Structure 1
Amino acid sequence: YVKKGGLFPVIEAKYGRIGRLVGTGAPNPETGALPKMSKSLNNAIFLSDDADVVQKKIMSMYTDPKRITGKEPGETDPTKNPLWAFHETFNTDTAWVDEHRAMYAKGAVGDVVIKRKLVEVINTLIDPIRTRRKQFEARPDDVIDALKQGTKRANVITEETLALAKKAMRQDFFSRTLSIG
């Protein structure tokens, strides 16, 4: 890598703090694990969902089946209750999460309170995305122009990289030029 001018870097994996995002549905009956968020499993919250759809999905989200009245102690393990997986992932108010997790574990707060807070958190997160999406939908030609400009820039960089790679491998028998019309 270094001998060839750093052209082919050794790839390093980068991991986020969330391994996979769980869906809104119940655990897999065979494994007991919460399924990943998936369009095909119909357990996903989409960035394109409006506020009412997000509320409907979260309010119908699977939680702890042992809680009938909301006064029973609840499961707060995020690998067993997606409500807490979502709060851990998206709720930046960790003091609120810690306090309400303790209350939930004791049966001092019901699912609805926790879900309503999650609706607020998710909608606050998605609102700027919705706004930007509406702007793009109103001006589709701008989106196409941006894609074309990005493609031109990427092609130039790709051609330069390919030329360097061929030179490093001593395979640069013929030079080529890219013409973009």
Structure 2
Amino acid sequence: MENQLIAKLAQLRYLVGFLGEKTQHNWWSSNFLTPSTKKMLEFTFPRTAHLAQYEAVSAAAARIHDDSIGVGKSFHLFRLPEYLEKALVDKIQSAQAEDFESLLVSKDKALAELSEIIGSASLTGEGPISLGQVKASQWEQSIAQMASAYFQAFNNGTKSFPYFQSDV
């Protein structure tokens, strides 16, 4: 997958991770992406506190997604195929913390950034939403559809868990 799409997936994961946290929409009961949590993590992980935040919020969100969708022949934003997970970690490690922190200054800013990813995509629904199988050439549209589903759910006070079916 090309670097631009990996960056967009990382951005989407950060935005949904932030918006799903306790102080925003309370989909999961963590606050890993707050400045105070980062300061705390900097004592233990001085050079990689932003990666620790990313990993922690991803794990919290993955658990809630897995509880809703189930684990098996599917994947979602917070549990992607291994090659994508590795590419995302590489992207986060090589990025400056500020690259993503600027997206997370407030709930309104994060929602505005999320709406930018949507483009012309439209996907609404509550609970698990199957996006079918995704082909390599469809990732850009699939990312936009996931963003749309999350954006609508956050704005409607519901929960949405878009996922892909896998033949693996």
TM-score range, shorter chain: under 0.3
Name the larger-Rg structure.
Answer: 1
Pick 1 or 2: higher relative contact order, CA cutoff 8 A, min separation 6: 2
Richer in helix (by share): 2
Q: TM-score, normalised by structure 2?
A: 0.27
Richer in strand (by share): 2
Q: TM-score, normalised by structure 1?
A: 0.25
